[in-house]
Amino acid sequence: MIPRVAHFIFGLEEQTEPFHFLQYTSLESCRRVLEPDTIYFHHKHLPWGPWWERIRPHLTLVEVDLAPEVLAADYSRGHVPGIYRYAHHSDFIRLDALLAHGGVYADIDTIFVRPMPDDLFEAPFVIGREPPVLDERTGELRPSLCNALLMSEPGAPFARAWRDGMAAALNGTWSNHSGFLSEELSRLSPSTVRVEPEPTFFPYPGTPAGLSRLLEQRHTIPQRTLSVHLWAHLWWDRRRRDYSEVHGGRYVPSFVRGARTTLAELAREYLPAPPPAVSHARSAPAAVSNAPAPPPAVSRAAGDADPASGAGGWGYLSLDEESGYGVAAQRCIAALEDSGLAVSWTPFVSGSGWGLGYEPAAGAGADHEHVIVAHLVAEYLPPIRDRRPEAFLVAHTVWDTSRIPDHWVECLHEADLIVVPSRFSATAIDRAGVSTPVAIVPHVAAATSAVRSTAAWTDIPDDVLVYYTIAEWNERKAPFLAIEAYLRAFTGRDRVLLLVKTSHFDRRAPDPVAWRAAGEGTTAWSLARLLASHPDPPEVRLITRPLTEPEVSALHRRGDCYVSLARGEGWGLGAFDAAAYGNPVVTTGFGGQLDYLADSAHLVRFELIAVQDPLGFPSYAPNQRWAQPDVDHAAALLREVAADPRHATALAQPIAAGIRRRYSPTAVATRFRAAVEQHEHAIARHGGRGPARGSP
């Protein structure tokens, strides 16, 4: 008899990101649906974060070590990259746990949907079939069983035979020791194992089509399905796109709350119950409720009405990317949710459906909320208004020159309220004569203590003074000016380094016809030209690959001074975050960054000039003004920082403290909700939107 205990394995590598909502959902669905006597959580490194704290009291923690067989294996042919070898360690650890204790093992990307029938617990060992899997050594598709969900008696003969043969079968490929070996053993000893058909545990195969049905479409869960495996390793990383455009960062509570996808409707059962509504115009924000979510309605088909869908909250439309717009939006959504507001997020992804470059992601929701926040550029407001004529539409945007583009004026009149982060942006809108009310709500400061450190940047010697900048290589951000100031300030004899995180292509040039690592039109080419004009240049390191959130956090921690000579900023998220981490910021004294850097001793002189950016037309036009920073003055400030880094850092600390206080999630959410309530009430008193949307 298989005992009614459960096993999960996690944290075989250091955890640099918080425990995810879907990982919580896996454990919580096991707890509610299977109701095991014990849930064993096998780990080498413990998770962290609010979702972990919510589930931890229900787990029995078991510390484990890596499998020596995997450490000794030959992976020289490259079939299994190092970042995925944790799965092979887990293959050994799970069988050891089942042999010792028996029970149900599940990968932590498994969602339980129905209780296991009693007859499964009467089998000696249970495993599910998966679609044929590619054998990397032969190129053939082979029958395979999947060890993502296993059930076993303690000391089961099948588990013992499998474990005894695994080391010899571990040949550097993905499945030989796991899916292929178990399938072979099941044919040799069929009486020792019960093999379930694919729909029981794996109704959606780990293929592009199967993942689309799970992640982007909405389908009814088959009646015989007991659990759903998510195949997270195939799509979780934002940078992996060979199986799906979806990534783990999309499946956060705000997306799950309103999305119309198979996975969202499975996971929605495990959202915390929303707290009572609170008026933020007159009171402090409510704390997030810790009340348990209602039990899963396992008989509900995907697509049925769901009471936890977030009706009465806000819809939030924003870019699903790691740009300034995308990062600022995610922080704002998290702050609003932490304040007790139910937010339904509609991610916008690259696409031609709206003719604007981005469109709503497949399966996205946010189509029933009264308040819709469009954290996008103004061109998206008319099509949003066409689709939601009755909504209270908030344009959450920003601008970075002396006045907004001419065509933005009519776009912004579609909104009932405009929210911008800075006085600079508000002034640019006011100059254009826009009649829609404008509220200034700053961006949320980076949570400087919420991201764990990584090994990034540890190759830089401690005695090297690190300057750094994060900016796309274009006329406005102008990282080439920051580089030039650095090259004028130092020589190759100085113990300094400039880290430049930027785009691969120089956006001042027309789009290239083909990707290339270097050559004219790339930032490497443009940097080389800058370096060539200085006979003894100091070290510059160009970074064009995507950085993870922990890597960016580590960059702010290792960096000594942030530098940006942008010609215009509506807010300047890179400088904002650097200042929040307590780093001195050498930056142009023009733009939205003055809201939080007004007292800085490192503001660069400038003169106002007509905007010249032909590739940015019509958004950027000569009737606008932006700054031409004084590069020599910037170089002098960089040398000043190098002359006394401790003094420069000391000057930055009051600024950092002010940012943490004034731009905390609580402060920003309170201000945002109060602004929306105030203007909603004003419109209601006047019997409709009327002048708030009319032309001036």
- CATH number of the domain that residue 385 is part of: 3.40.50.11930
Opening angle at CA 375, ends 599 and 212, nearest 5:
135
Q: Quick check: is 628 in a domain?
A: yes
Same domain, 436 and 481: no
CATH of the domain at 503: 3.40.50.2000
Nearest to 675 by CA among 278, 277, 281, 372: 281
Mean pLDDT lowest among 74-88, 297-311, 679-693: 297-311
Residue 330 domain-assigned (yes or no): yes
Residue 109 CB contacts under 8 Å (≥ 6 apart), including other chains: 22, 23, 26, 148, 229, 230, 231, 232, 233
Q: Looking at residue 80, what is its pLDDT?
A: 87
Supply the pLDDT for residue 301. 34
Write the pLDDT tens digit of every residue in 537-556. Answer: 999 999 999 898 889 999 99
Residue 549 is predicted with a pLDDT of 87
417 shares a domain with 345: yes
* pLDDT digits 0-9 by tens, 3-49: 999 999 999 998 989 999 999 999 999 999 999 999 999 999 999 99
Whole-number Å distance between alpha carbons of 581 and 22: 30
The pair of structure tokens assigned to 582 is 């307590």
Return d(Cα 274, Cα 253) in angstroms, integer. 12
Of 234, 261, 287, at which residue does a domain stop?
Answer: 234
388 found inside a domain: yes
Of 294 and 694, the one with more pLDDT: 694
pLDDT at 391: 94
Q: Per-residue pLDDT for 310 more than 90?
A: no
Task: Say yes or no to pLDDT of 242 above 90.
Answer: yes
Question: Is 241 inside any structural domain?
Answer: no
The mean pLDDT value for 495-519 works out to 82
Indicate if 486 and 362 belong to the same structural domain.
Answer: no
What distance in Å separates the CA atoms of residue 372 and residue 416, rounded to the nearest whole number? Answer: 10
423 and 478 in a single domain? The answer is: no
> Which tens digit of pLDDT belongs to each residue from 104-140?
999 999 999 999 999 999 999 999 999 999 999 999 9
For range 389-397, the mean pLDDT? 96
Contact 374, 393 (CB under 8 A): yes
pLDDT of residue 694: 41
Looking at the structure of the chain, the number of domains it has is: 3
Residue 387 burial (CB count, 10 A): 12
Q: Check pLDDT > 60 for residue 246.
A: yes
The torsion of the CA quartet 536, 539, 545, 551, rounded to 10 degrees, works out to -170
**Does the residue 676 lie in any domain?**
no
Residue 685's pLDDT is: 67
The answer to the question of residue 447 being in a domain is: no
The verdict on residue 600 lying in a domain is yes
- 377 is in which domain, residue-wise? 252-295+307-440
Residue 458 inside a domain? The answer is no
**Largest pairwise CA distance in the chain:** 83
Say if residues 506 and 491 touch (Cβ distance below 8 Å).
no
Percent over 70 (pLDDT), the chain: 91
Q: What pLDDT, on a 0 to 100 scale, did the predictor assign at position 253?
A: 95
Q: Are residues 262 and 171 in the same domain?
A: no
> What separation in angstroms does the CA of 569 have from each of 10, 481, 545, 638?
42, 15, 23, 20
Does residue 641 have a pLDDT over 60? yes
Q: What pTM, to 2 d.p., does this model score? A: 0.88
More confident residue, 318 or 288: 318
Find the mean pLDDT for residues 171-191: 96
Average pLDDT, the chain: 91
Same domain, 228 and 269: no
Predicted pLDDT of residue 602: 98
**Predicted confidence band at 333 (pLDDT cuts at 50, 70, 90)?**
very high
Q: CA 43 to CA 9: how far, in whole Å?
A: 6
